Structure 1
């Protein structure tokens, strides 16, 4: 009887360790523009690494162009950054505008010096991360 209890406890411990190790998370700070101010919407901790890695890949492979900030441009719908990048000293803040007509996302970064408009598929991936 003691052996069965020991094996059961060992089994449950191994399952919990496996489950704990497979849910590595990325920490992302997101602010959403609501009304006339930005609301700190989330410090998202429970986002699967695969989703954030795909988003990082989209951002890195995007065809960024030089950009001149226009006065009077509406405020970004979202502002986000990957907190784990702070540790590496290369924090980049991304400003996101969502075009409601065709559901495309526009991004700026580097103090609005760089700009890209994502295709529909990449826009949907990014929006799933932000919502």
Structure 2
């Protein structure tokens, strides 16, 4: 008789722990330009998959153009990459310039050989992830 409440309690605890452990999280590395150097701002461990998946979808579906960065171009405001791509063999590093007047984000990738300017909605999503 005393074993039944104990068994029910253990089952409940197991279910609670199992459901809590299934929340997938994404790891992202972010560097912010401050002064003359980039400062490693965050290795964000607790980002929900939904947020990073949306960001990945934005950069994957962006209308990238061929691009050549001028030598005297200003440094990017942020640099970020998704750490899970390291294991897949092809990591893309994204360089982010923020146009604060219009809240628009401009990105380059692949050693600045590709460029895109995002719309305001997508820019807000990227900025929320980086800040």
**Higher mean C-alpha displacement, 116-125 vs 68-77:** 68-77
Give the alignment's Cα RMSD to 1 decimal.
Answer: 0.9
* TM-score normalised by the chain length of structure 2: 0.95
Give the gaps of 5 or more residues in structure 1. none
Alignment deviations for residues 10-67 of structure 1 (CA, whole Å, 9 cap, x no partner): 102211111110x201111110111211111111111111111110110011010011
* Offset at residue 9 of structure 1 (A): 2.0
1:46 maps to which residue?
A: 46
Give the Cα–Cα distance (whole angstroms) in 2 for the partners of residues 80 and 102 of structure 1. 21
Give the Cα–Cα distance (whole angstroms) in 1 for the partners of residues 13 and 68 of structure 2. 57
* Offset at residue 72 of structure 1 (A): 1.5
1:11 alignment partner, SS class? helix
Q: Equivalent residues in 2 for 1:14-29 (5 A)? A: 14-21=15-22, 23-29=23-29
* Offset at residue 5 of structure 1 (A): 2.1
Give the Cα–Cα distance (whole angstroms) in 1 for the partners of residues 21 and 88 of structure 2. 25
Alignment deviations for residues 62-97 of structure 1 (CA, whole Å, 9 cap, x no partner): 010011111221110100011100111110100000
1:26 alignment partner, SS class? strand
1:4 maps to which residue?
A: 5
Moved over 6 A (4+): none
Give the gaps of 5 or more residues in structure 2. none
1:38 alignment partner, SS class? strand
* TM-score normalised by the chain length of structure 1: 0.95
**Higher mean C-alpha displacement, 96-105 vs 8-17:** 8-17
Q: What is the aligned residue count?
A: 130
1:105 maps to which residue?
A: 105
Give the Cα–Cα distance (whole angstroms) in 1 for the partners of residues 90 and 55 of structure 2. 16
